[in-house]
Amino acid sequence: MSNEINRIGINTGAVNPYGNQAKGSEAKPEENKPEVQNNAPKNPSVKPDDVLTYMANSAVVINPKAAQKTYDVAKYVTPEQAQRIAGFVTSFEDQVAKGLLAINGMDELAGLSDKAKYEIAANMVV
């Protein structure tokens, strides 16, 4: 058998270092075997209900609207650039609205949620 895979030579000792052990090392028993320590507490210090309550409370998003910020566009772009960007955004919104009208007219997609319909319409914009 060849030591090549797709004409790339590999070092099989590096791939499987345990396959080529010397016979002398197999004959020696392990003398300094560390003891297995059981770190689990003997008596649980936390009630299961407290754990479930913590998990339920940590999954709740509190007031996501407070994180929204307003930006001063004049710091970053010129007025001409701001108008051009606003034109692109309104054009995108118009195309998404046309896509939503087309999606709402299809009987096959009537069971989709509004979020899914918006995502499909946004992906239709080229």
pLDDT digits 0-9 by tens, 47-102: 888 888 888 877 766 666 666 778 888 899 999 999 999 999 999 999 999 999 98
pLDDT above 80 for 103? yes
Domain tally, the chain: 1
- Residue 34 located in a structural domain: no
**Distance between CA 120 and CA 103 in Å, rounded?**
8
Residue 122: both structure tokens together: 């946004």
The whole-number pLDDT of residue 110 equals 78
Q: What range does the domain containing 99 cover?
A: 75-126
- How many Å separate Cα 79 from the centre of its chain? 38
- Residue 85 located in a structural domain: yes
- Residue 103 located in a structural domain: yes
- Residue 70 located in a structural domain: no
**Whole-prediction pTM value?**
0.42
Q: Label residue 20 exposed, middle or buried (CB < 10 Å: 0-12, 13-18, 19+).
A: exposed
Cβ of 121: how many Cβ atoms within 10 Å?
A: 19
pLDDT digits 0-9 by tens, 4-52: 556 666 665 555 556 655 555 555 555 666 666 777 666 667 888 888 8
